[in-house]
Amino acid sequence: MNWIGFVFQSRGVSNSFQRALDVFQRFGVHSSSFSKILRTFEHIQSYWNARPSFPIASILLERHPALRKELQSFDFEWLSHGYVHHDFSKQNYPVQKQWIQRSLDLLSTNCFGFRAPYLHWNQDTLLALKDTKMLYDSSCVYFWDFPDNDLTFKQKEAIKKVHQFYDPYRMKGKKSLPTFENNYLQIPVSLPDDEILLDRLRIQSEEQLLQIWKSLICQNHDRETLFTIQLHPERIPFFEKTLKNIHQILKELNPPVWKASLNQIATWWSKRNTFQWEITMDSIHWDHSPDIHMLISKNLDGSNFKSFYGSWYSIEGHSLKWKSLELPILAVENEGKKNIPFLKQWGYLFELKREDRLYSLDLNRELEESDLEFLLTKHPNPLLRIAHWPKPFQSAVCLSGDIDCVTLQDFLFRIWGR
């Protein structure tokens, strides 16, 4: 399918023509116009206190050598977005590996992550990323529920098209958290993004945009998850004020929000995945790391646990003496082993059941994700888990944006698949 057919399928005819008009307004004929946009992001970074992460189609670096040199002056994080903006999900392993490697040859050795064009990927994508030594992928989609009471019938129909376009590439889980797919790290990207809100739904009100993103940010904080903002640089003139207001909302949330780059998220989640702990005669010990945040779901009599959030309490130090006969961890039996990926992702301490021990909870059957979460959060006995994020953060937010084009000429090249 060529680019025009691809766009008509995903957006509809009328939205596609409007998109073409928008492009002529947002892009110039020289890369210097795009440089000014990146300077705006540099200002945002000054108060955001975290590096934005930009996946870039690396053919742009060939076309614009002056921009390539200038990019080195920005303290941004650069990810691979492929060589040309093609749909990876339609290609096999050899082609994808060639595209990724060609992209990396143009990017610096400090490029560790990848995001697929159109957020379309398949299992060959992950295999090609592994074989080109990329550390993580950020293409899997997490679609947040957002208030749609004020949407028109036409806007609701546009949302249906969006779901049809992205649903095959959704995360498997129901939490917006990094996960390991076939032992490869994937970091979710949050939708709806700027493109959906502004170009597909045609929401022009800054107040409405702010209320939608505020709702999503608060959902994310309540769930202790990750909100990966997808904001294409060419739309920053419209979203700059909204982004500043979002930053103020983040500052007011307590416990605090971790504003991190995608590389930081990947580094943390990889470290968390190797977390070690052990049981001795009367204690549970875990890694001596200052950023590991151990939580317990119940404040015990005589304990000095500090309230963290909801029913969860923080444990200071790197061990817990245990007086009860029941260990505050899960026992997993044979049929319960299928729940292990979720237990690891959520950070619950568990072991395969031993007959010489008693546990707070025995998990002896496979459960749906929502049923498992309900069981764990409502269980009356204390359970230990590692927090999703480094101490003292409750949730995380990452600012990212794909760079698909720099000039009008790039957009025309993209139409013809170049």
Residue 180 CA to residue 242 CA, distance in Å, equals: 33
Q: Which of 397, 416, 285, 406 minimizes the C-alpha distance to 50?
A: 397
Helix (H) or strand (E) holding 398: strand 395-400
* 54 in Cβ contact with 403 (< 8 Å): yes
Rounded distance between C-alpha atoms, residue 244 and residue 371, angstroms: 38
Q: Does position 289 have pLDDT exceeding 80, yes or no?
A: yes
Taken in order 286, 288, 293, 296, is the CA torsion positive or negative? positive
pLDDT for residue 1: 46
- Whole-angstrom distance, CA of residue 378 vs CA of residue 400: 35
In percent, the amount of the chain with pLDDT more than 70 equals 90
Q: CA-CA distance, 80 to 402, in Å (whole number)? A: 10
Q: Is the pLDDT of residue 382 over 50?
A: yes
Mean pLDDT across 46-70: 90
Instruction: Give all domains of the chain, ordered by start, each with its CATH number.
Output: 3-267+395-415 (3.20.20.370), 294-386 (no CATH)
Q: Identify the band that residue 89 occupies on the pLDDT scale cut at 50, 70 and 90.
A: very high
User: Given pLDDT bands bounded at 50, 70 and 90, which one contains residue 417?
Assistant: low
Q: What number is the average pLDDT over the span 254-271? A: 97
Query: Is 50 exceeded by the pLDDT of residue 391?
Result: yes
pLDDT (mean) for 150-154: 85
Residue 141's H or E segment, with its range, is strand 141-143
Question: Tokens 């929000």 map to which residue?
Answer: 257
Mean pLDDT, residues 61-78: 88
Task: Count the helices and strands in the chain (H runs, E runs).
Answer: 15, 21
pLDDT of 26 above 80: no
67-71, 384-388, 407-411: least confident range:
407-411
pLDDT surpasses 50 at 282? yes
Report d(CA 313, CA 295) in Å as an integer: 5
Q: What is the 3-state secondary structure (H, E, C) of 55-117?
A: EECCHHHHHCHHHHHHHCCCCCEEEECCCCCCCHHHCCHHHHHHHHHHHHHHCCCCCCEECCH
**193's tokens:** 């993004």
DSSP 19-37: HHHHHHHH-BSSHHHHHHH
310 neighbors 387 (Cβ within 8 angstroms): no
